Amino acid sequence: MSKKLIELNNISKSYGSNMVLDELNLYIRENEFLTLLGPSGCGKTTTLRIIGGFETPDDGNVLFDGKDITSLPPNKRQLNTVFQKYALFTHMNIEDNIAFGLKIKGKTDKYIKDKIEYALRLVNLEGFAKRMPDSLSGGQQQRVAIARAIVNEPKVLLLDEPLGALDLKLRQDMQYELIRLKEELGITFVYVTHDQEEALTMSDTIVVMNQGYIQQIGSPEDIYNEPENAFVADFIGDSNIIDGIMLQDELVMFLGAKFACVDTGFGTNKPVDVVIRPEDVILTPPERGIINGVVTHLIFKGVHYEMEVKAGGFEWLVHSTTMFPVGAEVGIQVDPFNIQIMNKPASEDEEAVSLEE
């Protein structure tokens, strides 16, 4: 396993009376693609800015390769940042934009020329050196911003919602470009986004944040298939989240029916959150269902049908390759392995829980 490159220890940050980060602990490994994911205001961009040196934490420290860099300015850190707004110099052509940091460092003309050619080739913009930024598409401008960061040979590339301004097709193309770049360059990527699909597509590790706390850290598969609480389950993809009672180990009751599950250790007759992904809901003829309902909405999504089914007084979201028309009576079954049981938070404040607690 690769070594820890960046460590954030007990990081707290407030703006006035607004606590943005509260004793956050996180480490990032060398050559990892780590994504900070969460809704607006969750603290993900502040975390990135503290790593980059653009913000100073109120408490806690930042280590880089074992050395404390908490008070080091951005230009003294072995990292570069790519912002959503590109921040290209509009009066300079592409090669001058890319060369800007290298010229400040006093590199030779030959070194700079070789680096520009290498960077343009890496981001598939060969032949664009003399073009001006305003003649480029949004996707091309973003590639120039990435090339400008890459030529400085940072150990870490920080990316703050870099694809947010692009349309869907360009964004998807750039996702694959970034994955390729990470593999070719062998550097660490720290990526900020609120786009769940983007995070699942690109990351080695996802850090889900809410209200200044880390909710869960894991691989995309872990985060999607084994969410640790209802917030993560609801934020990462679609979920049916239902109030339930854990009757005993491997048996839960919700919507008036008993369902077998595989979870244990919740005690007996305990209120829980039951989480079931739309693709894990099995629609059957009514006589074979554990509970029965009626299809109320139907949309064809290309790969599957998305249906809403009113059953047990709950509006179920269902994804299936089999279509049931609106008005059809159906039964609902769920494989025990696809029922996720989660403790209910004791209070609203407890819904944002630090991973360390």
> Read out DSSP for 57-71?
-SEEEEEETTEE-TT
Of 10, 3, 6, 5, give the one whose Cα is nearest residue 61.
10
In a domain, 84, yes or no: yes
CATH, residue 243: 2.40.50.140
User: Which of 195, 225, 255 is the endpoint of a domain?
Assistant: 225
Whole-model pTM above 0.95? Answer: no
Shared domain check, 216 and 277: no
In a domain, 324, yes or no: yes
* Residue range(s) defining the domain that contains residue 344: 238-351
Cα separation, 67 vs 36, in Å, equals 23
Of 133, 155, 157, 159, give the one whose Cα is nearest residue 144.
133
Shared domain check, 220 and 81: yes
User: Which of 225, 248, 275 is the endpoint of a domain?
Assistant: 225
227 CB neighbour count, 10 Å cutoff:
24
Q: Are 79 and 51 in contact (CB under 8 A)?
A: yes
Shared domain check, 143 and 272: no
Coil/strand/helix, residue 261: coil
In a domain, 16, yes or no: yes
In a domain, 297, yes or no: yes
Q: Are 317 and 237 in contact (CB under 8 A)?
A: no
Shared domain check, 75 and 36: yes
Which two three-digit tokens encode residue 321?
């390759």
Divide the 357 residues of the chain into consecutive groups of 10 and give the mean pLDDT of each group.
90 93 95 94 94 95 95 90 77 90 86 88 86 86 85 88 77 83 88 91 95 95 90 90 96 97 95 95 96 97 95 96 97 96 68 43
Cα separation, 336 vs 200, in Å, equals 25
In a domain, 276, yes or no: yes
In a domain, 233, yes or no: no
Coil/strand/helix, residue 178: helix
In a domain, 110, yes or no: yes
Neighbouring-strand partners of residue 330: 293
Q: What's residue 353's pLDDT?
A: 47
Shared domain check, 68 and 105: yes
Q: Are 55 and 46 in contact (CB under 8 A)?
A: yes
Shared domain check, 57 and 12: yes
In Å, how far from its chain's centre is CA 253?
32
Shared domain check, 261 and 137: no
Burial bucket for residue 17 (CB in 10 Å: 0-12, 13-18, 19+): exposed
Domain count, the chain: 2
Shared domain check, 188 and 115: yes
CATH, residue 10: 3.40.50.300
Shared domain check, 13 and 154: yes
In a domain, 245, yes or no: yes
Shared domain check, 63 and 167: yes
Shared domain check, 191 and 107: yes
Shared domain check, 138 and 22: yes
Q: What's residue 305's pLDDT?
A: 97
The DSSP bridge pattern shows strands 156-160 and 79-83 to be parallel
Q: What's residue 1's pLDDT?
A: 64
Which two three-digit tokens encode residue 79?
């990292």
User: Which of 199, 225, 251 is the endpoint of a domain?
Assistant: 225
Please report which residue ranges of the chain form alpha helices under DSSP H.
44-52, 94-104, 109-122, 138-150, 168-185, 196-202, 220-225, 230-235
User: What b/e sequence results for 181-213 when a residue is b if at least 16 CB atoms lie within 10 Å of its CB, and e otherwise?
Assistant: bbeeeebbbbbbbbbbebbbebbebbbbbbbbb
